[in-house]
Amino acid sequence: MNTLDWARTQFGITTLFHFIFVPMSIGLAGWVALCQTLYHRTGRDVYLRMTKFWARFFLISMAIGVVTGIVQEFQFGMNWSLYSRYVGDIFGAPLAMEGLMAFFLESTFIGLWIFGWGRLSPRVHLACAWMVAFGTALSAYFILAANSWMQHPVGYTLNTATGHAQLKNIFSVLFNSTALLAFPHTIFGAYTTAGMLVLGISAWSLLRGRRDEVFGRSVKLILPLTLGVAIATGVFGDGQARLMDTQQPMKMAAAEALYNTTSGASMSLFAVAPFEHHPKALSTDVRLPHVLSLIATLSWNGTVKGINQVNAAEQKKYGPGDYTPIIGVTYWSFRLMAGAGVLLIIFPLLGMLLARRPGRLERTRWFHRAAIVGIFVPILANWSGWIFTEMGRQPWVVYGLLKTGDANSPNVSMASVIISLAGYILVYGILVVVGARLFVREARRGPEEPGPPAPPPAPGAPSRPDLVLAY
């Protein structure tokens, strides 16, 4: 491995760590705000207890997501200085907007929400919860707009003097067709992640014999919501696949390991192939006839471009070279993502079917056990999705404009990259272990007991804020 490989490894590992907790916090922010809204509307104690219970998981995931996000903001400059110079004119703008519009919003209002309970009026306090949920989603939009520009550069010109890309139209960048689909796909994926977490923790508590209304209510609410957002994730993902077919044909072909352009292409469900950069053919290939053409082109006999033809076309356009990503990675990451996505639709649907007869869902222990494993399925889906979209774009870092091999910092030594990588793995590893243990601990502790309403404060006494969520 050379310095470039280590730098790529560092970006991949830090980003995947970051993206364990980020989707959870985006989704849980919305869920907690929803619970609090229900409490605000109905005044029922169970919703208050739900808000406070789920908020604990939200705050843990948020804390880890925020601190690992600091590295994300700086590592473009640290490891990818040539990239930063090349794209900075365009890529920096959404990042700066993310800081100014989204980061300030979520960090300020989360402080107000945690510490303002009982100090702010209930209405204002509820608004703070929604501001946080809005801020986290807004932040996702900007960073996905930035990433979409790497997948499908738009709204730019090439500056002949500097050789760098230059921004021509900010609206093209912010409303890039790629971003318009990547955002709902990612955000609904995040809500699915949170939904499965809520379902899994509730199931775990019910299995342990904790017959608390908080879990029953949560399951009842979260099942249809998770089903809805999981379907939405799939629908937008499907749209992305079709867009990708025109914008990044190589990625689509590599996802299917389709070597030659085919009409009425069948889709491979499962295959075994030598795990190398460019295996000659797939063995043990289970295929569904015509399905690939149907998905990619919406027609039974539509033509899907193959790796070899796209490679030849790119060689003609960009000069000699190999323009294929690692086929084994794209093929399997795509299957893991899509397969997990299907499971994530089936599972809540099953739960809803079980719930149709009263008491049946509560008695179905295998469903609860499966729900605990289900916590990890969306994490796997999120990871394989990012691995697919980033590794499927290789050898490009900005599709058609800049190759990954020309993007890293020339003055950063391999030793520096390895040392920092080791440091990140160590610290992030500790964070993940501690975060997971805190999740288990909070789940075991369970929700607050439904206590009698607090006595009104003595006249003249200073009002004391509710510190149940504060550190």
Question: Should residue 67 be labelled a site residue for other proteins when binding is judged by CB under 8 A?
Answer: yes
Find the helix or strand (DSSP H, E) in which 389 lies: helix 376-391
Smallest distance, other proteins to C-beta of residue 19, A: 16
Among 1, 104, 246, 353, binds other proteins (CB under 8 A): 104
Question: Should residue 168 be labelled a site residue for other proteins when binding is judged by CB under 8 A?
Answer: yes
Q: 68 or 268, CB closer to other proteins?
A: 68
How would you class 115 by CB atoms within 10 Å of its CB: exposed for 0-12, middle for 13-18, buried for 19 or more? middle
Half-sphere exposure of 401 (CA within 13 A, CB side): 22
Among 41, 44, 119, 369, binds other proteins (CB under 8 A): 119
Q: 130 or 318, CB closer to other proteins?
A: 130
Among 34, 114, 129, 292, binds other proteins (CB under 8 A): 114
Among 24, 35, 50, 97, binds other proteins (CB under 8 A): 97
Smallest distance, other proteins to C-beta of residue 78, A: 5
What distance in Å separates the CA atoms of residue 354 and residue 350, rounded to the nearest whole number? 6
Question: Should residue 85 be labelled a site residue for other proteins when binding is judged by CB under 8 A?
Answer: yes
Among 47, 109, 141, 334, binds other proteins (CB under 8 A): 109
Q: Which of 95, 17, 85 is nearest to 421 (CA)?
A: 17
Q: 161 is written with which tokens?
A: 């003097």
Among 39, 53, 58, 76, binds other proteins (CB under 8 A): 76
Question: Should residue 16 be labelled a site residue for other proteins when binding is judged by CB under 8 A?
Answer: no
Question: Should residue 32 be labelled a site residue for other proteins when binding is judged by CB under 8 A?
Answer: no
Q: Are 432 and 376 in contact (CB under 8 A)?
A: no
Beta-carbon contacts of 202 under 8 Å, excluding residues fewer than 6 positions away, are 215, 218, 219, 222, 371
Footprint on residues 255-314 left by other proteins (CB under 8 A): none
Q: 358 or 410, CB closer to other proteins?
A: 410
3-class DSSP string for 191-221: HHHHHHHHHHHHHHHHHCCCCCHHHHHHHHH
Half-sphere exposure of 348 (CA within 13 A, CB side): 31
Find the helix or strand (DSSP H, E) in which 460 lies: none
Q: 154 is written with which tokens?
A: 């738009």
Q: Which of 1, 300, 25, 260 is nearest to 135 (CA)?
A: 25
Smallest distance, other proteins to C-beta of residue 193, A: 20
Question: Should residue 167 be labelled a site residue for other proteins when binding is judged by CB under 8 A?
Answer: yes
Question: Should residue 107 be labelled a site residue for other proteins when binding is judged by CB under 8 A?
Answer: yes
What distance in Å separates the CA atoms of residue 111 and residue 471, rounded to the nearest whole number? 11
Question: Should residue 431 be labelled a site residue for other proteins when binding is judged by CB under 8 A?
Answer: yes
> Which of these segments, 233-241, 281-289, 356-364, 426-434, binds other proteins (CB under 8 A)?
426-434
> Which of these segments, 40-48, 159-167, 219-227, 299-307, binds other proteins (CB under 8 A)?
159-167
> Which of these segments, 35-43, 64-72, 248-256, 383-391, binds other proteins (CB under 8 A)?
64-72
Q: Are 290 and 266 in contact (CB under 8 A)?
A: yes
Q: 235 or 418, CB closer to other proteins?
A: 418
Smallest distance, other proteins to C-beta of residue 203, A: 21
Smallest distance, other proteins to C-beta of residue 85, A: 5
Question: Should residue 111 be labelled a site residue for other proteins when binding is judged by CB under 8 A?
Answer: yes
Measured CA to CA in angstroms, residue 97 lies from 84, 86, 132, 141, 142 at distances of 17, 19, 16, 10, 7
Q: Are 33 and 55 in contact (CB under 8 A)?
A: no
Phi, psi of 282 (to 5 degrees): -95, 140
Q: 111 or 321, CB closer to other proteins?
A: 111
Among 13, 16, 37, 115, binds other proteins (CB under 8 A): 115
Among 100, 288, 298, 436, binds other proteins (CB under 8 A): 100
Residue type, 376: F
Q: Per-residue contact track with other proteins, 338 to 357, x per CB under 8 A?
A: --------------------
DSSP 101: I
What distance in Å separates the CA atoms of residue 90 and residue 142, rounded to the nearest whole number? 12
Q: 96 or 269, CB closer to other proteins?
A: 96
Question: Should residue 159 be labelled a site residue for other proteins when binding is judged by CB under 8 A?
Answer: yes
Footprint on residues 385-414 left by other proteins (CB under 8 A): 409-412
